């Protein structure tokens, strides 16, 4: 599965080492302003959901793309990765998104969440409600 | 008898549980049922899970209902497309404050204050918006984003043509002679104040507050999701199994009911009484309520903020003359009208209500014999507009009630006409109009159909009570252009 994030149901994505770092983009459609935030990443053991670590995440504006906000899930094995984002495998990275539809200005308001692996195919989710939840299953 | 009682009690319990589920849950499972590809189905299942969490939050904090309900209808209904109340065809007693961002078009039948009704075609254009649409793309313009000709995009023009001219009144009805020239009105508008766009400082303050609250909610909600992982996994498995049991003979409602049962069953298994889950739910619900409050406050700034628009209009009269006594020589028109208008709007979030006020005054273009002055009238009009619940794929209908008062300082045509169809006409005085109007959207709000009824104590020419109906159709291309994915 290396190099390809694969969808595993409504919430989970299987992630291989080659996929990391994974960029996460949130794009708004039919809204004047992209109002989206991401939670900190909670890393858990798949067996019992015990928490290994928590690392901070924040969606940032993308130059020349006013409707896109972006952040990155770091590679836990990379030397430059902060200590609180380093963990041993297997592990699940749990993420929650909160968005707003306060500036709807078109017929089909929605957000698209894109998981972009370092190599391989981008996975997309369409969000028409104000929250979403994603698990990256890192085997 | 006991069996019957038990059955009734169970039915009541079942119905109660069903009603306890929010409309968001119903909407989400309907998305699952209607999905034609796996990705859409998964998005619907994810939305159903979030709706289940919302129901749990609401059980802890019923104030969430109020915050959530306010988010039902979030499409703007403050764009002016049609003609002013003085036109031969108009469905509007009080004009909306904003012009289309690029281009709008309307056709209206039936007058509000004019004695002689007709048909009006109005074209509303934002010239700078059109230029920017060709330069930076139509979507940013339709979304009213900053960054291209921001000052000039506050200007708009509209042209109204009376397509019934040349027909009304019939040449035989009086000494009045209809004009064939269909140009009726030209207007130039300038947005003096517009808080309903994201460029304002107030909006940025609200946005920062929302981001802070949303982040504060996202973290405990994420932790709650982690703790509820076994239930989420069971939910996904049960939803998949229920979908797998669908039969071709099942109706859509049967499929929805089957999925709602899964939501209900899984939700019942989450033990609110468990101290750890209970504490997490309470913390997440509190933070979520703060987020919704900040969200509503920001929406209030965006959709209910102050708007003030100044407008100048030139109106050409639609009744030409042959000679009227010795006052009007043959072949001349009644004098044109200059109108200055201020349109102010402000909304109330708690009632999803928008108020619009119009103040205007008109002057004749020239002073003719027997006219007391150039000043013709002053007018005040206002409406209260409710946005009703959003209809998927159609848009948000609006209902409004409007009132209009006009004081005619002198004869409305500027000169004396002895009679019209046997009635004394063309007198100064007071005009009052009450209007009720329903605007039905279609094609995702790009096309709207206004239907209105008005009662007036008199019309401009004839001092008689009048009850009328008006209908129109308007096209606002903003809605069509706003989605970049549709380009």
Range of the domain at A48: 6-138
> Which residues does B220 contact at the CB level (< 8 Å), separation at least 6?
B280, B283, B284, B287
Taking only the tens place, the pLDDT of each residue in A7-27 is 888 899 999 888 889 999 999
Q: Could you give the 3-state DSSP secondary structure of residue B344?
A: strand
At B478 the pLDDT is 66
The DSSP secondary-structure symbol of B418 reads -
At B54 the pLDDT is 86
Residue A69 lies in a domain: yes
Taking only the tens place, the pLDDT of each residue in A108-123 is 789 999 999 988 889 9
Angstroms from A17 CA to nearest CA on chain B: 23
Bridge-based pairing of strands A131-138 and B103-109 is unpaired
- Inter-residue contact B129 to B151 (CB < 8 Å): no
From chain B residues 287-316, the ones with a CB under 8 A of any chain A CB are 291, 295-296, 298-299, 302
Domain tally for chain B?
Answer: 1
Residue A1 lies in a domain: no
Question: How far is residue B439 CA from its own chain's centroid?
Answer: 8
Q: Could you give the 3-state DSSP secondary structure of residue B194?
A: strand
Q: Which two three-digit tokens encode residue B270?
A: 């989450």
> Which residues does B185 contact at the CB level (< 8 Å), separation at least 6?
B83, B84, B86, B87, B158, B159, B160, B313, B314, B315, B316
Residue B287 lies in a domain: no
Residue A30 lies in a domain: yes
Q: Could you give the 3-state DSSP secondary structure of residue B318?
A: coil
At B279 the pLDDT is 86
At A10 the pLDDT is 86
Q: Which two three-digit tokens encode residue B64?
A: 């969430």
Nearest alpha-carbon partner for A116 in A39, A10, A4: A4
User: Residue B218 and residue A98: Cβ atoms within 8 Å?
Assistant: yes
Taking only the tens place, the pLDDT of each residue in B108-143 is 888 887 777 788 899 999 999 888 888 777 666 766
At B74 the pLDDT is 47
Residue A77 lies in a domain: yes
Residue B64 lies in a domain: no
The dihedral sign for the CA sequence B35, B40, B41, B43: negative
User: Residue B482 and residue A30: Cβ atoms within 8 Å?
Assistant: yes
Q: Could you give the 3-state DSSP secondary structure of residue B31?
A: helix
Q: Which residues of B222-242 are buried (b: 16+ CB within 10 A; e: fewer)?
A: bbbbbbbbebbebbbebbbeb
Residue B81 lies in a domain: no
Domain tally for chain A?
Answer: 1
> Which residues does B24 contact at the CB level (< 8 Å), separation at least 6?
A129, B47, B51, B54, B68
Backbone angles phi and psi of B66, in degrees to 5: -65, -45
- Which residues in chain B show pLDDT less than 50? 1-20, 69-74, 171-173, 324, 327, 483-487
Range of the domain at B426: 103-196+305-486
Check if A131 contacts B (Cβ < 8 Å): yes
Residue A122 lies in a domain: yes
CB pairs under 8 A between A and B: 156
Q: How many whole angstroms separate alpha carbon B301 and alpha carbon A102?
A: 9
DSSP labels, A34-64: --EEEPPEEEE-TTT--EEEEE----EEETT
Q: How many whole angstroms separate alpha carbon B5 and alpha carbon B35?
A: 40
Check if A9 contacts B (Cβ < 8 Å): yes
Residue B340 lies in a domain: yes
Residue B310 lies in a domain: yes
Residue B349 lies in a domain: yes
Residue A64 lies in a domain: yes
Q: Could you give the 3-state DSSP secondary structure of residue A5?
A: coil
The dihedral sign for the CA sequence B305, A106, A62, A14: positive
Residue B348 lies in a domain: yes
> Which residues does B412 contact at the CB level (< 8 Å), separation at least 6?
B376, B377, B426, B428, B460, B461
What's the CATH code of the domain at B311?
2.40.160.40
- Chain A CA closest to residue B53: A131
Asked if omega into B169 is within 30° of 0 (cis), the reply is yes
- Inter-residue contact B172 to B420 (CB < 8 Å): no
At A27 the pLDDT is 97
What's the CATH code of the domain at A58?
2.60.40
* Beta bridge partner(s), residue B172: none
- Inter-residue contact B157 to B187 (CB < 8 Å): yes
From chain A residues 36-75, the ones with a CB under 8 A of any chain B CB are 37-40, 42, 44, 49, 51, 58, 66-67
* Cβ atoms within 10 Å of B368's Cβ, excluding its own: 15
* Cβ atoms within 10 Å of B422's Cβ, excluding its own: 8
- Inter-residue contact B452 to B82 (CB < 8 Å): no
């Amino acid at each position: 599965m290396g190099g390809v994030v694969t969808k595993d149901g409504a919430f989970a994505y299987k992630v291989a080492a080659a996929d990391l770092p994974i960029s996460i983009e949130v794009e708004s459609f039919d809204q004047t302003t992209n109002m989206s935030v991401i939670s900190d990443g909670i890393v858990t053991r798949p067996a019992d959901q015990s928490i290994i670590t928590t690392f901070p995440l924040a969606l940032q504006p993308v130059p020349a793309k006013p409707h896109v906000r972006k952040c990155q899930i770091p590679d836990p094995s990379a030397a430059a990765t902060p200590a609180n984002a380093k963990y041993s495998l297997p592990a699940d990275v749990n993420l929650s998104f909160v968005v707003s539809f306060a500036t709807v200005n078109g017929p089909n308001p929605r957000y698209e969440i894109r998981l972009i692996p370092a190599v391989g195919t981008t996975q997309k989710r369409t969000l028409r409600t104000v929250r979403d939840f994603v698990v990256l299953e890192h085997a | 008898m006991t069996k019957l009682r038990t059955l009734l009690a169970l039915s009541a319990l079942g119905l109660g549980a069903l009603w306890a589920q929010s409309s968001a849950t119903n909407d989400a499972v309907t998305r699952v049922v209607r999905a034609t590809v796996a990705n859409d189905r998964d998005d619907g299942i994810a939305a159903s899970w979030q709706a289940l969490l919302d129901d749990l939050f609401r059980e802890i904090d019923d104030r969430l209902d109020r915050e959530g309900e306010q988010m039902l209808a979030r499409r703007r209904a403050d764009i002016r497309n049609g003609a002013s109340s003085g036109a031969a065809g108009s469905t509007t007693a009080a004009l909306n404050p904003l012009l289309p961002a690029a281009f709008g078009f309307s056709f209206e039948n039936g007058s509000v204050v004019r004695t002689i009704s007709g048909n009006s075609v109005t074209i509303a254009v934002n010239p700078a918006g059109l230029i920017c649409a060709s330069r930076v793309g139509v979507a940013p313009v339709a979304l009213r984003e900053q960054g291209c000709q921001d000052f000039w995009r506050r200007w708009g023009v509209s042209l109204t043509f009376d397509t019934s001219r040349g027909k009304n009144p019939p040449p035989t009805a009086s000494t009045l002679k209809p004009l064939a020239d269909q140009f009726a009105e030209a207007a130039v508008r300038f947005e003096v104040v517009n808080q309903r766009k994201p460029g304002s400082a107030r909006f940025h303050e609200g946005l920062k507050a929302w981001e802070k609250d949303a982040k504060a909610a996202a973290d405990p909600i994420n932790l709650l999701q982690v703790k509820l992982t076994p239930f989420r996994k069971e939910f996904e498995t049960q939803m998949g199994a229920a979908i797998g049991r669908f039969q071709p003979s099942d109706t859509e409602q049967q499929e929805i009911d089957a999925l709602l049962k899964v939501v209900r069953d899984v939700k019942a298994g989450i033990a609110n009484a468990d101290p750890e889950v209970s504490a997490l739910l309470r913390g997440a619900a509190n933070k979520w309520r703060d987020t919704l409050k900040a969200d509503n406050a920001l929406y209030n700034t965006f959709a209910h903020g102050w708007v003030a628009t100044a407008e100048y209009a030139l109106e050409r009269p639609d009744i030409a003359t042959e000679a009227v006594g010795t006052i009007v020589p043959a072949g001349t028109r009644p004098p044109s009208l200059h109108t200055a208008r201020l349109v102010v709007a402000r909304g109330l979030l708690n009632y999803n209500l928008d108020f619009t006020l119009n103040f205007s005054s008109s002057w004749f273009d020239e002073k003719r014999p027997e006219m007391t002055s150039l000043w013709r009238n002053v007018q005040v009009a206002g409406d209260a507009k409710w946005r009703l619940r959003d209809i998927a794929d159609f848009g948000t209908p609006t209902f409004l009630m409007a009132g209009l008062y006009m004081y005619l300082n002198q004869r409305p045509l500027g000169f004396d006409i002895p009679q019209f169809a046997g009635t004394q006409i063309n007198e100064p005085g007071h005009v009052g109009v009450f209007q009720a109007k329903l605007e039905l959207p279609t094609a995702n709000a790009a096309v709207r159909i206004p239907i209105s009824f008005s009662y007036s104590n008199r019309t401009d020419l004839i001092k008689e009570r009048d009850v009328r109906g008006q209908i129109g159709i308007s096209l606002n291309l903003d809605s069509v252009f706003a989605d970049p994915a549709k380009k």
